[in-house]
Structures are given as structure tokens and as C-alpha cells.
Amino acid sequence: MGLAKEAVGVRARAIWIYLLVAVCLAGIYFFELRQKRIRIAERISSTVMFKVKPLEISSFVISKGGVKIVATRVKEHDSANTNWKITSPIRAGADGLRVQQFLEKLSKLRWQRKISEGQENLAQFGLNNPSVVISFQGNNASGTLSIGSQTPFGDDVYVQRNGDKSVYTISFADKFDLDVDLFDLRDKRLITLDPSEITRVTIERNGKDKWVLKKTGDKWLFSDGEHFEASPERVRALLLRLWTMRATSIQEERAEDLSKYGLNRPRVKIQVYGAGQSQELWIGNSAKKQEGLYAKVVHKPLIVTITSWILSDIPTTPEGFRK
């Protein structure tokens, strides 16, 4: 009996010892894992080109092909929010989402290899005359990235940063995302009123028929001499198309002659009302050298092209709007 109790005691002590060893080993494993993660984070941090966050950047300049694009963060009137504006080579609104993507890429940019300490001739890296130079300013940060030529195998690109004489490489994919132009960055929206804010729509075709859609409660009513309830789904589809539509190209910044675009007598005029304002879009001829249609927003001198899809969302007869 005594031997049995002693055997049980030995087994219990062994189990506790094994448990203690397991706990110690688990502690060592998680400690090593944490240290490994710290080392990886430190290694990643050491290859980041710029230690800056997108919100810390207040302006940036992109110089390429003899053109200097300047964008500045501007505080909204009576608001803590900010928008981005392009101030050169033209003055225009910027696409906030596209700018944010650009700044995210710039702030997280990492070099792949460190090639030179500055002893070699920069011409061999295309950095004596960089194809793109990006500089940024912020309250507590600033920096410059010069982009040169591709590496011999074409998978990376040579770069320099700030006043550092060293030459690095970044991936070609990163270079592609950073090598943006004026059209990429500018705001290409035409109708900016949110569909939920629109309470009235007028549509005029070829200067003749004028249709009116008016929101009453949760219903849309159609009139052009006759009156009926319109399909809310059809109206929403049209308003959503207008809101999400973007210019596909810029034809002229300031057009003097609208007739060559068919905009002196637009094929379609669409005007939307809501939130104490109205916006009107004119649609003209088919674009000659590309797919799409010429268009302009009234009171703006810009002539753009848009996709032809918009016409598929406008019924050709009043019956197309009927619920």
C-alpha cells in the first residue's frame, strides 16, 4: 500500500515537472517569437525611405517632363476637414482618394538594395537627370525622392533620397504607382451632388422635350405635359451614374468654340437640384479620336470626354421612367 502511494506521488511530481518544463519552453518560444518580430520590424523600418505619415504631409511637388505639379492641403471653410488642391500648373480640385493613395505609397516606400555610397557616376543610374522628382513638406517632415533609370533586368529602379549620396533601388511596381501625372491627380468628377440630396431633375433632349422628375416624400413624380409616378429604381440608377461618372480625358481647359464639340446645341442637358444648389451637365457629339462623348458642366470652361454609358441610363421616351 505504501509503495503504491509512493508511486503515485512520484508520478504526480513528474507531471508537475513536465508541466513546469512545458511552461518554461512555451515562455522561451513566445519570447523568441516576439524578439523575431521586433527584429523583422526593425529591419523593415530601416529600409523605409521616409519616416513620415500621410497626414503629416501638407504639400508635395512632382516634377517630370518639364512640368511641375504642386498640390496643397487646404482646410475647409468652417470645418476641421481638409481637401487637396492643385495649384500648379493649373488651379483645380484634386482627387482626394487618388492623392491619399499616392501619399500612402510614398510614406511606406521601402528600398530593395543599397547600390552605391555615392562614389560612382550618377549618369549610369539615370540620376544625373532624374525622370521624376518628388518632394514633400509637412509640419515636422520633408523629403525628396529622385527616380532614375531601370536596373539591367528591369525589375527595379534606381533612386536617391533627400541629400543622401547613396543610390538605392525600389521595385518597378512602386515606381509605377508614384509616377503620376496631372490628370491622375485632379478631380475628374462632374456632378458632385450626392444622390440622396437630389430632389429634382430636369432632362432636355435636342433642345426640345423637357422632362421633370420631382421627389415628393419617397416617390418620384414625372411630368412633361402628362404626369405619372416614376420608377424609383430607374431614377436612382441615373443619379448614381451621374455621381460616380468621371471625365475620361480633358479636351480643353478653356474652350472658346463649343460648336466643334456639339456643345453649342447639346444632345442632352441634365440639371440636378438639391442641398440649396443646382448643377447642370451638357452632353455633345461623339468624341472623334476615342470612344465616348464630349461634355461640360455649365459655368465651368472645361471640355471633357465621358463614357457613352450615361445615355443607356436615360430612357428615350417618358415610358422608360414609368413605374
4 contacts: CB under 8 Å, gap ≥ 6: none
- Give the CA distances from residue 241 to residues 203, 205, 235, 302, in Å, rounded to whole numbers and listed in that order: 14, 18, 10, 20
> Are 60 and 146 in contact, with CB atoms under 8 Å apart?
no
User: What torsion do the CA atoms of 134, 137, 140, 142 make, to the nearest 10 degrees?
Assistant: 30
> Are 290 and 299 in contact, with CB atoms under 8 Å apart?
no
Residue 28's pLDDT is 45
Assess whether the previous peptide bond of 152 is cis (omega < 30° from 0).
no
- Looking at residue 273, its amino acid is Y
- Looking at residue 154, its amino acid is G
User: What are the strands, taking DSSP E only, across the chain?
Assistant: 57-64, 67-75, 82-88, 92-93, 113-116, 132-138, 142-150, 156-161, 167-171, 198-205, 209-216, 219-223, 227-230, 249-252, 268-274, 277-286, 293-297, 303-306
User: For residues 251 and 260, what is the distance between their CA atoms, to the nearest angstrom?
Assistant: 11
User: For residues 254 and 86, what is the distance between their CA atoms, to the nearest angstrom?
Assistant: 17
C-alpha cell belonging to residue 302: 472645361
- Give the CA distances from residue 32 to residues 39, 55, 186, in Å, rounded to whole numbers and listed in that order: 10, 34, 49
Residue 291's pLDDT is 82
User: For residues 153 and 175, what is the distance between their CA atoms, to the nearest angstrom?
Assistant: 15
The C-alpha angle with vertex 54 and arms to 50 and 60, in degrees rounded to 5, equals 80
For 255, the 3-state DSSP assignment is coil
- Give the CA distances from residue 31 to residues 26, 85, 141, 228, in Å, rounded to whole numbers and listed in that order: 8, 48, 35, 73
End-to-end CA distance of the chain: 93
User: For residues 127 and 36, what is the distance between their CA atoms, to the nearest angstrom?
Assistant: 36
Burial class (CB in 10 A: 0-12, 13-18, 19+), 118: exposed
Q: What is the pLDDT along the chain (323 residues), one digit of tens a residue?
A: 555 555 555 566 666 666 665 555 545 444 344 433 433 333 444 799 999 999 999 999 999 999 999 999 998 766 667 899 999 999 999 999 999 999 999 999 999 999 877 667 889 999 999 999 999 998 888 999 999 999 998 889 999 999 788 999 999 999 999 999 999 999 999 999 999 999 999 999 988 889 999 999 999 999 988 899 999 999 999 999 999 999 999 999 999 899 999 999 999 999 999 989 999 999 999 997 778 999 999 999 999 999 998 999 999 899 999 99
**Which is nearest to 239 in space by CA: 293, 292, 187, 193?**
193
Domain segments of the chain as ranges: 54-185, 195-321
User: For residues 263 and 247, what is the distance between their CA atoms, to the nearest angstrom?
Assistant: 16
pTM for the full predicted model? 0.78
Residue 8's pLDDT is 53
